[in-house]
Amino acid sequence: MSTTLFDLTGKRALITGSSQGIGFALARGLAAAGASIVLNGRTADKLMQAAETLRGEGATVETLAFDATDHDAVRTAIDGFEADTGHIDILVNNAGMQHRTALEDFPADAFERLLQTNIASVFHVGQAVARHMIARGAGKIVNICSVQSALARPGIAPYTATKGAVANLTKGMATDWAKHGLQCNGLAPGYFDTPLNKALVEDPKFTEWLSNRTPAGRWGKVEELVGACIFLSSEASSFVNGTVVYVDGGITASL
């Protein structure tokens, strides 16, 4: 029984922003746990390349290209997929972006892009998928948060604001939708070696700071997020709702 609790066989998982980085790693991990995968992004070519990679590893993969910041496009894509292809049992809201500038110089247009990409997309896709989950009385939503849901660093204040909002929206989703059989939780990565963090990974001074600041003493590997995502996507978390699970090498636990 202990292993079947984490078995995702027969479930279908949609992961937004999943052609690379954390989204792709989570898609690969959920596929290994038995789920069929729906990759999402705005660029069809990148999605097809990612899909072929996963299919080569034995995964069942579909692609669904849409802009997660466009409410009408999201609704049309999700409703069409549910009608034509089948149920989405698991949603991982992963689409996100970063922009690093001192707050006093932060461009207004960059702030708006962060709001749309990091928080509005969670609302748009979450609502569209949840409407179908509610009708079925079951579903799993995992919103990708961040250590910046709880902490701040210089130069990324608007990003921090969006990730704090994702954590609180997750609580709101759980509060509204738990009664319908949905479990809505957050997964908060610490500092991981991803394309989004490329500039920081290549900065020896930052890496030294991170190694000293993080109890684990290193960058995270994207594969280390998979276990927590499987847990939040499976029956093992059937009474877990509105929680943010930090996978951060201890950085939020230590001064």
Marked catalytic residue, from 24, 111, 159, 192: 159
Element holding 80 (H helix, E strand): helix 71-84
Element holding 56 (H helix, E strand): helix 44-56
Query: Starting from the edge strand earliest in sequence, which strands make up the sheet with 36-41, in order?
Result: 61-65, 36-41, 12-15, 90-93, 139-144, 182-189, 244-247
What is the CA angle 124-126-132, rounded to 5?
Answer: 110
Instruction: Answer for the pair 232, 245: CB distance below 8 angstroms, yes or no.
Output: yes
191 in active site: no
Instruction: Answer for the pair 12, 90: CB distance below 8 angstroms, yes or no.
Output: yes
Instruction: State the catalytic residues.
Output: 159
